[in-house]
Amino acid sequence: MHPDTFSGQLRDPALVSPDQSHSFVAATLELSTQGICAKPEGHPPRLLAWSGMRMRKNDGGALEFYQGGLTVSSSDPDILRVVESLAGNDLGNDISRVHGDTVSGPWRTRLGCVAFVAFCIWALVKIPACFSAVTDGVADSVPYSADETIGELADKSMPTNGTEITDPLVRGAIEVMLNRIAPYRCLPDAEFKFKVVRNPTINAFALPGGYITVFSGLIEKATSPEQVAGVLAHEIAHVTKRHGINRIVKAAGTATVLAVTVGDMGGLQDAAMQVLTAVTMNGYGRSDESEADQEGVRMLIAARIDPEGLAAFFETLEEEQDGEIPVWMSTHPKPGGRAQAVRDQVFELSSTPDWEPLDIDWEAVIERLDQV
């Protein structure tokens, strides 16, 4: 075999049936300056470019290379040497992790210079950062029952611009997703109530206390229940990470913060509707949205729901949107960037994925939506 050619395996959902999407097929791996070309017998070759590729050692000791939904692996001990010579610049950190080395960057040699800049930045943000820390602490001390009270009030008056869909088949599909995801929430006290609303907007939102609204436009755009489950996990994460109550406390101001410390919740309730209306229209801040993405993917992995559905949904939106990004994506990078972030997280957290398809007849759900 050529020195830069190795025996290996390829995982490509396009080559197998949906219930075998995590299966590998045998392939010859050819390494070049462009990347890894996987050649499965009887199928066209697949190229994984070095740029944007990720690498790790799986539980069996084989090296896995991951990019854009494709994964190749090889147990040949010589492959790492060739990868280092061809892709050292692109995979340097991953190669170091495989070797068990501490990953370091050139900044370590210039720490003295950076320290002065860091001090100046710290001085500029000290006062607002201190206030943020105070409000974070107050929000953490607010009992979760406050989330439930505020969420219930908001849910009754939050405009959805559509009628509620009560059809058992449609609601049953969302309930199956919730039942799979909810056991892996990070906040045991959180319980969830949901409604499906007739609205063509590709959207879903969650209020404090677990009140979730799913628009029919989101369901109709999705091609599988796993895609909607991914968005639902993101919204559940907003609830369990208490992003709503934190935003309300911060927006309410110093006087309300002081009132909350002595048990006066009136100020929070007064501010809640304004904050939550803005959130459902414009999304949370970037850090909250990123945290909800990461926590949502964690729950999907724990529930054995394939997060690739969420990544594929982002790519579908990127291909089909006409310059208008859905509300729940407005504070993020482009959909393609979010798709890659999902795949990177799956790559880091799940070395041997064993996904369990959701027990939902998706075609029947879409058909029923057209009838009710």
Structure tokens at 339: 């798709």
Q: Tell me the Cα Rg of the chain.
A: 24
Beta carbons of 55 and 48 less than 8 angstroms apart: no
**Two tokens at 41?**
């017998």
| Contact between residue 50 and residue 34 where contact means Cβ atoms under 8 Å apart | yes
CA distance 10 to 143: 49
pLDDT of residue 131: 46
Predicted confidence at residue 337, as pLDDT, reads 76
Per-residue DSSP letter, 162: S
User: Whole-model pTM above 0.75?
Assistant: no
Determine the pLDDT at residue 118: 44
Predicted confidence at residue 75, as pLDDT, reads 92
Q: What is the pLDDT of residue 184?
A: 96
Q: 211-215 and 193-197 as β-strands: parallel, antiparallel, unpaired?
A: parallel
Asked if residue 211 lies in contact with residue 151, where contact means CB atoms within 8 angstroms, the answer is yes
pLDDT at 230: 96
Domains and CATH numbers, the chain: 5-104 (2.30.29.30), 142-369 (no CATH)
- pLDDT score, position 155: 87
Maximum Cα interatomic distance, the chain, rounded to a whole number of Å: 75
Q: What is the pLDDT of residue 8?
A: 94
User: What is the full per-residue pLDDT of the chain (372 aa) written as tens digits?
Assistant: 566 899 999 988 777 665 555 678 999 999 998 899 999 988 889 999 898 888 888 878 899 998 877 889 999 989 999 998 888 777 887 887 777 643 444 434 344 444 444 444 433 344 344 445 555 555 677 788 888 888 888 888 888 889 999 999 999 999 999 999 999 999 998 999 999 999 998 889 999 999 999 999 999 999 999 999 999 999 999 999 999 888 887 776 655 555 555 556 666 666 666 777 766 666 677 788 889 989 999 999 999 999 998 888 878 777 765 545 554 454 444 555 778 888 989 888 876 678 999 999 999 999 999 998
Strand-pairing partners, residue 139, are none
